[in-house]
Amino acid sequence: MGIKIALAGNPNSGKTTLFNALTGSNQFVGNWPGVTVEKKEGRLKDQKDVTITDLPGIYSLSPYTLEEVVARNYLIHERPEAILNIVDGTNLERNLYLTTQLLELGIPVVVAVNMIDVVKKNGDQIRLQPLAEALGCEVVAISALKQTGIKEAAALAVKLAQNQKALPPVHRFSSNVEQVLDQIIPQLPSDIPSAMQRFYAIKLFERDDKIASMMSAAVNVEALIKKAEDKLDEDAESIITNERYNYISSIIHQCYAKKNQSRMSVSDKIDSIVTNRWLALPIFIAVMALVYAVSMGGWSVSIGTLGTDWANDVLFGEWVPGMVGTFLNTMGVGGWLASLIQDGIVAGVGAVLGFVPQMLVLFFLLCILEDIGYMARIAFIMDRIFRRFGLSGKSFIPMLVATGCGVPGIMASRTIEQDRDRKMTIMTTGFIPCGAKMPIIGLFAGALFNNSAWVATSAYFIGVAAVILSGILLKKFKLFAGDPAPFVMELPAYHIPSASNVLRGTWERGWSFIKRAGTIILLSSIVLWFLQGYGFVNGVFQAVEDNNQSLLALIGNTVSWIFYPLGWIGDMGWKATVATMTGLIAKEEVVNTFAVLYHYSGELSEAGNEIWTFVAADFTALSAYSFMIFNLLCAPCFAAMGAIKREMNNPKWTVGAIGYMCGFAYAAAMIVYQIGGFITGEVPLTLFTVIAAVLLAGLIYLLIRPYKESRTLQVELKETAKI
């Protein structure tokens, strides 16, 4: 049996850097069961029987945030043999607060004081020996970035893990509190090991009911708590927190000598410009414009776009199909199988993989912003606007990126700490019109609206409105209102980004996308290829050239009644339905599909100018607009759905998110068509008009309904909660 070591520490303490340095490429990235929190495990370099689990970055072991609950459940139930606790040496006081809690778990702890190089450079001094004595555990100094001392720290943790002798915590609280704890301990159920008694006693005292419910027998110590609270004139939670910080304050002077109190650090100087009252917004806009220009824009500096254009036009446009074609020819493969491989797999997967260069460039830039510490500043600057809609200040980035492509947009939501904000951002990012939806807008703007610029403008307006409305709506539902979202956020000191962190972060996200292209996207491409390429002609099932005879057209015809209330009526009804369905592969497909359905076989421009007259004959301005709204807001393409699945890491939430988008799109299109048509007299008053009016009323009601944030965290951690 190997050794398990948990790596624990505050966010921004250099934990990821240390983890990467210790494990190298032996990593497994996944999620903690059932939650959106990322879980990383790795094997120690040169010592493959030692597994290191990277716990989420946390400040405390409170029951209030998902990350903290995940981390403490792991520590309590999985009982790693040792904890390697990384603390930021430049921010010792607050980092040691978590250490005092880890020491109570009865697991051997090694404290690794990180950034010791920075501490020394500042002229400060950390005395390890007094610190070790005051904490009652091993303390070493390391620099994760410069890779000094990390081997020693790991070796020490392994040694402690093998000895399995946790030292009892040395830190003591004031006598008032200690007396109460002494009275609680004898009442604890006897199955709690003696090394963990103090932990459970403190948690009981704090009224932590998540821990209390884990115990085999209920212990009622309310009278004791109440007495202590009255005596100290504070509530129990505050008492313990105060005691911890008081203890740290009492020892910090023997362990930590700061050279200069008043001098402004480099980080402060940068912040005096970057988050300056007047300069912050212009700088923010400039940074965002730069990120966008380099990754998504259409200029000669746009490396991302250039790469993606090359991948689409040359790599997956000529090279791969060419090579595959030659290969198939030499192998003598033809007919349906060649078509499946070329038109189904290569075309479908290639269309998605084409985004990879753009995504890698984008993630590279975002990882740099994250590693430098600018992301936290973005949240600081933008919070005021976004929290009105129930989103985080950091939601800005996914939304901006989504104007280029929704897939990296959804994946960029990973930098949002709060679970609720993250889920909400994932659900709403797809509403922003992405680059691939532009041809749809172009088609209808040209065919029915005289190419008015207002159509595209209104598309963005609708997208943004959908995000805002959803933000306000969703947080009124129990699922979202359940979790509190404290915005008490550290603004970490700026660092020089670590090349390995940035490259690794970029690759991890890029790779998880590529993997998906090989699975879910591959599968859906094959299915759609089949539906498009086969059908019944004169009652005989066969391959069809004409899309009008395909199975897809058949399905479109069969289900087009669903869209009747949206005004997709008559001959255009099934065509619009089929185009919507092919739009699931990629939204660009919508325009191509219309061309096929209108039997246009020539070269098609991006916005389909050639078929404008056909479209104008079939659609009215209103039904075209309803079609546009539905397609802008409904379920995104398969690639984006895959991204939603990956980020939600939960089938229910994935289906919920996609279902919500479709439902919202349907309701919006219906309201516009029915109510709009009723006002202009184009659509007669029917049952659907009434339904649309009811939907509109319900929407308005939800918008103005008051909302109250919950105070407790509702998390179900079934799989981790085994005892």
Of the residues 33, 482, 484, 676, which one makes contact with another protein according to CB under 8 A: 484
Question: Hey, which residues does 83 pair with through a beta bridge?
Answer: 6, 109
Find all residues with CB under 8 Å of 713, minimum gap 6, and list them: 63, 64, 65, 66, 69, 482, 483, 484
Please, which residue, 420 or 646, has the CB nearer to another protein?
Answer: 420
Q: How far is the CB of 243 from another protein (least distance, A)?
A: 9
Q: Is 682 in the site for another protein (CB under 8 A)?
A: no
Please, which residue, 493 or 657, has the CB nearer to another protein?
Answer: 493
Please, which residue, 494 or 529, has the CB nearer to another protein?
Answer: 494
Of the residues 174, 216, 238, 519, which one makes contact with another protein according to CB under 8 A: 238
CA distance 598 to 619: 13
Find all residues with CB under 8 Å of 514, minimum gap 6, and list them: 353, 356
CB atoms within 10 A of CB 327: 12
Residues touching another protein: how many (CB under 8 A)?
A: 46
Please, which residue, 280 or 303, has the CB nearer to another protein?
Answer: 280
Of the residues 217, 257, 273, 281, which one makes contact with another protein according to CB under 8 A: 281
Q: In the numeric block, which tokens belong to residue 94? A: 């607050």
Phi/psi for 33 (5° steps) reads -50, 125
Q: How far is the CB of 242 from another protein (least distance, A)?
A: 5
DSSP state of 493: P
Compute CA 316 distance to the chain's CA centroid, rounded to the nearest angstrom: 29
Of the residues 84, 296, 493, 566, which one makes contact with another protein according to CB under 8 A: 493
Helix segments in 560-650, DSSP class H: 571-582, 589-597, 612-618, 621-633, 638-648
Please state, in angstroms and as integers, the Cα–Cα distance from residue 167 to each residue in 103, 106, 140, 284, following that order.
Answer: 8, 7, 17, 49
Please, which residue, 121 or 258, has the CB nearer to another protein?
Answer: 258
Q: How far is the CB of 222 from another protein (least distance, A)?
A: 17
Of the residues 711, 716, 718, 722, which one makes contact with another protein according to CB under 8 A: 711
Do residues 189 and 201 lie in contact, with contact meaning Cβ atoms separated by under 8 Å?
no
Of the residues 245, 460, 600, 678, which one makes contact with another protein according to CB under 8 A: 245
Interaction mask 138-177, another protein, x per CB under 8 A: ----------------------------------------
Of the residues 19, 32, 59, 612, which one makes contact with another protein according to CB under 8 A: 59
Question: Hey, which residues does 126 pair with through a beta bridge?
Answer: 256
Three-class SS state of 171: coil
Do residues 519 and 39 lie in contact, with contact meaning Cβ atoms separated by under 8 Å?
no
Q: Is 275 in the site for another protein (CB under 8 A)?
A: yes
Q: Which of 73, 85, 75 is nearest to 34 (CA)?
A: 73
Q: Is 271 in the site for another protein (CB under 8 A)?
A: yes
CA distance 144 to 17: 6
Q: Is 209 in the site for another protein (CB under 8 A)?
A: no
Of the residues 26, 183, 242, 549, which one makes contact with another protein according to CB under 8 A: 242
Stretch that binds another protein, among 180-188, 276-284, 294-302, 543-551 (CB under 8 A): 276-284
Question: Hey, which residues does 257 pair with through a beta bridge?
Answer: 125
Residue with tokens 């020819």: 329
Q: Is 302 in the site for another protein (CB under 8 A)?
A: no
Please, which residue, 12 or 403, has the CB nearer to another protein?
Answer: 12
Q: How far is the CB of 92 from another protein (least distance, A)?
A: 8
Of the residues 487, 536, 561, 701, which one makes contact with another protein according to CB under 8 A: 487
Find all residues with CB under 8 Å of 706, minimum gap 6, and list them: none
Of the residues 81, 370, 383, 417, which one makes contact with another protein according to CB under 8 A: 383
Of the residues 165, 384, 478, 718, which one makes contact with another protein according to CB under 8 A: 384
Interaction mask 31-50, another protein, x per CB under 8 A: --------------------
Do residues 122 and 110 lie in contact, with contact meaning Cβ atoms separated by under 8 Å?
no
Q: How far is the CB of 721 from another protein (least distance, A)?
A: 20
Do residues 316 and 346 lie in contact, with contact meaning Cβ atoms separated by under 8 Å?
yes
Q: Is 380 in the site for another protein (CB under 8 A)?
A: yes
Of the residues 185, 489, 695, 702, which one makes contact with another protein according to CB under 8 A: 489
Q: How far is the CB of 224 from another protein (least distance, A)?
A: 21
**How far from each other are the two terminal CA atoms of the chain, in whole angstroms?**
20
Biggest CA–CA distance in the chain, Å, is: 92
Of the residues 31, 47, 147, 241, which one makes contact with another protein according to CB under 8 A: 241
DSSP 4-54: EEEEEE-TTSSHHHHHHHHHTT-EEEEE-TTSS-EEEEEEETTEEEEEEEE
Stretch that binds another protein, among 240-248, 502-510, 600-608, 652-660 (CB under 8 A): 240-248
Of the residues 22, 181, 381, 717, which one makes contact with another protein according to CB under 8 A: 381
Long-range contacts for 575-582 (Cβ within 8 Å, ≥24 apart)? 575/618, 576/627, 578/547, 578/552, 578/553, 580/627, 580/630, 580/631, 580/634, 581/528, 581/552, 581/555, 581/556, 582/528, 582/532, 582/552
Please, which residue, 316 or 380, has the CB nearer to another protein?
Answer: 380
Please, which residue, 487 or 564, has the CB nearer to another protein?
Answer: 487
Q: Is 488 in the site for another protein (CB under 8 A)?
A: yes
Please, which residue, 194 or 238, has the CB nearer to another protein?
Answer: 238
Of the residues 277, 478, 708, 722, which one makes contact with another protein according to CB under 8 A: 277
Please, which residue, 289 or 331, has the CB nearer to another protein?
Answer: 289
CA distance 672 to 566: 8
H or E stretch including 694? helix 687-704
Find all residues with CB under 8 Å of 655, minimum gap 6, and list them: none
E-assigned strands of 212-279? Answer: 256-257
Of the residues 103, 142, 368, 713, which one makes contact with another protein according to CB under 8 A: 713
Of the residues 78, 318, 490, 546, which one makes contact with another protein according to CB under 8 A: 490
Residue with tokens 């109190």: 261
CB atoms within 10 A of CB 512: 16
Of the residues 491, 522, 527, 616, which one makes contact with another protein according to CB under 8 A: 491
Long-range contacts for 331-335 (Cβ within 8 Å, ≥24 apart)? none
H or E stretch including 535? strand 534-537
Q: How far is the CB of 489 from another protein (least distance, A)?
A: 5
Three-class SS state of 514: helix
Kindly identify the residues of this chain, within the stretch 84-123, that bind another protein according to CB under 8 A.
91-94, 97
Which residues of this protein are in contact with another protein, per CB under 8 A?
59-60, 62, 64-65, 91-94, 97, 234, 237-238, 241-242, 245-246, 258, 267, 271, 275-278, 280-281, 376, 379-381, 383-385, 387, 484, 486-493, 711-713
